[in-house]
Structure 1
Amino acid sequence: MKYFAVLLPMKEADKSRDFRPQHLAFLEKMRNSGHVAANGKFADGSGGLVIYKAPSFEACEALVITDPYIVEGARRYEIFEWEAVWAEEAP
């Protein structure tokens, strides 16, 4: 399984606010199903970062494009394959 860092830069602040509950529910579902290792928003309000686990770029993108933030046009996305190095106590 590969890791992908997915940046979600702000596109429309109003839509981001309106669809935040659906986005957070989506991320919880993705974490619980093992597709997301971590997620969080940037403190400056410019967007967020999601670390996906997927077998390929295409498989990751197939998940990303179902995020309500993307579906509703609230955020853009950028996907980077990430060769993670974990501390011993991290997943």
Structure 2
Amino acid sequence: MPYFVAILEILDPEKDAQILDIHKAYLQKYIAEGKIFAKGPFTDHTGGLIIYQTNSYEEAKTLAENDPVIKENTRKMIFKQWKSTLPE
């Protein structure tokens, strides 16, 4: 199954902090469904990274675009397909 990466950069720190719990709850649903491979903040506190593992680019992009931090414009997103080079 392919991987897709969302790099999320914080645009509005105050508003972002207000919806952080909603963002985490949104992601938890897809972690439980196995559609998120990894996630976490950058150590410089400028945003975070989410690695989706879904059947298609379209599915992963839809999940990423419906994240509350994107819908509320507290973060901007770079979204790309990613290929691991580690042996399986």
By the TM > 0.5 criterion, same fold? yes
Pair 1:24-2:24 in alignment: yes
Map 1:44-59; keep pairs closer than 5 Å.
44-59=44-59
Task: Report the CA distance between 1:53 and its aligned residue.
Answer: 0.9
Q: How far off its partner does 1:75 sit?
A: 0.7
Using the aligned pairs only, state the percent identity: 33
For 2:14, the equivalent position in structure 1 comes to 14
CA shift for structure 1 position 87:
6.3
For residues 32 and 85 of structure 2, the distance between their equivalents in structure 1, rounded to whole angstroms, comes to: 22
Structure-to-structure mapping, 1:1-91, within 5 angstroms: 1-86=1-86
Gaps of 5+ in 2: none
TM-score (norm 1): 0.88
Q: After the TM superposition, list the runs of 4 or more consecutive aligned residues in structure 1 that deviate by more than 3 angstroms.
A: 85-88
Show CA shifts across 1:47-79 (max 9, x none).
Answer: 100000122222111111111111111111111
Coordinate RMSD, CA, aligned: 1.4
* Paired amino acid for 1:13: P
SS at match of 1:44: coil
